[in-house]
């Protein structure tokens, strides 16, 4: 296992001195997890493997852009893998599009932007918080992240009125926010 601090140090070691051993540790930890995560959303094993590998290559190239005060290693790697998956999907179906916009969110460039207070949060804690959501709420959140679907598509697939899906999302986010912010204060 890697702690959030250890994972951040590995990315920083790549940025500071092109540390191949650090890359190997990150790859061993994250490549299989990213692959498993993508397969949960219905991506086939071969594509999931390719996306995971290419995502870790981007981690190497962009290591200097990583800022642990803004996002954890896992969140950053998730964002990269998600964009890589979008790129691959578009290559197949639609013209290519810039996806770095989405990446930029986790590294806003404004000097005065407030630092993320979540970066150091342990995953165990966020996992516990997810466990506190109702099954109805959790299924919507998971479909969004695993299957890369908009709330409109999720509503159609679950055969639910759009308003029901919206209120589940708002309730889930409200709970997460309340719990995370109570902890920080």
In angstroms, rounded to a whole number, what is the distance separating the alpha carbons of residues 14 and 82? 21
In angstroms, rounded to a whole number, what is the distance separating the alpha carbons of residues 175 and 150? 21
23 vs 43, beta carbon nearer other proteins: 23
Q: Which residue has the tokens 């099954």?
A: 135
43 vs 83, beta carbon nearer other proteins: 83
47 vs 49, beta carbon nearer other proteins: 49
Query: Minimum Å distance from CB 15 to other proteins?
Result: 6
5 vs 104, beta carbon nearer other proteins: 104
Measure the CA angle with vertex 28, ends 97 and 6; round to 5°: 95
Cβ neighbour number for residue 45 with a 10 Å cutoff: 11
Copy the structure tokens of residue 83: 């964009």
Query: Minimum Å distance from CB 3 to other proteins?
Result: 10
Phi, psi dihedral angles at 52 (to 5 degrees): -60, -45
Query: Minimum Å distance from CB 153 to other proteins?
Result: 8
Query: Minimum Å distance from CB 159 to other proteins?
Result: 17
In angstroms, rounded to a whole number, what is the distance separating the alpha carbons of residues 103 and 101? 5
């Amino acid at each position: 296992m890697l702690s959030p601090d250890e994972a951040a140090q590995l990315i920083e070691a790549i940025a500071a001195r092109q540390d191949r051993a650090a890359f190997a540790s990150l790859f061993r930890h994250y490549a299989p997890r990213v692959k498993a995560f993508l397969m949960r959303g219905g991506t086939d094993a071969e594509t999931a493997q390719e996306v995971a590998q290419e995502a870790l290559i981007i981690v190497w190239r962009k290591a200097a852009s990583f800022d642990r005060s803004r996002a954890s290693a896992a969140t950053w790697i998730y964002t990269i893998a998600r964009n890589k998956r979008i790129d691959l999907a578009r290559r197949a179906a639609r013209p290519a599009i810039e996806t770095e916009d989405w990446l930029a969110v986790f590294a806003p460039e404004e000097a005065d932007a407030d630092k993320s207070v979540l970066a150091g949060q342990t995953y165990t804690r966020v996992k516990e918080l997810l466990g506190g959501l109702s099954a109805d709420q959790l299924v919507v959140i998971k479909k969004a992240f695993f299957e890369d679907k908009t709330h409109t598509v999720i509503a159609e697939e679950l055969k639910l009125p759009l308003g029901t899906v919206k209120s589940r999302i708002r309730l889930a986010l409200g709970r997460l926010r309340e719990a995370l912010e109570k902890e920080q204060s």
